[in-house]
Amino acid sequence: MNTNTRTITLAAQALLLFALAQPMAAQAALFENDDGTVTDTVTNLIWDQCSQGQSGVACATGSATIMIWAAALTAAVTANAANYKGYSDWRVPSKNELESLVDITKATNPVIDLTAFPATPTNSFYWSSTTYVPDPSMAWDVYFGTGSSFADVKTVSGQVRLVRSGL
130: domain CATH number is 3.10.100
What pLDDT does 27 receive?
A: 43
Q: Is residue 71 part of a domain?
A: yes
Q: Is residue 5 part of a domain?
A: no
Q: Is residue 41 part of a domain?
A: yes
What pLDDT does 123 receive?
A: 82
CA distance 124 to 70: 17
CA distance 20 to 16: 6
User: DSSP labels for 51-76?
Assistant: PTTEESGGG-EE-PPPB-HHHHHHHH
Q: Is residue 47 part of a domain?
A: yes
Q: Is residue 12 part of a domain?
A: no
Q: Is residue 2 part of a domain?
A: no
pTM: 0.81
Q: Is residue 22 part of a domain?
A: no
Q: Is residue 101 part of a domain?
A: yes
What pLDDT does 15 receive?
A: 39
DSSP 92: P
3-state class percentages of the chain: helix first, strand second, coil last, to nearest 5: 30, 25, 45
Domain count, the chain: 1
Give the domain range for residue 151. Answer: 27-165
Provide the residue-wise pLDDT of the chain in tens; the chain has 167 residues: 554 434 444 444 443 344 344 444 444 599 999 999 999 999 999 999 999 999 999 999 999 999 999 999 999 999 999 999 999 999 999 999 999 999 988 888 899 999 999 999 988 899 999 999 999 999 999 999 999 999 999 999 999 999 999 76
User: DSSP labels for 26-38?
Assistant: GGGGEEE-TTSEE
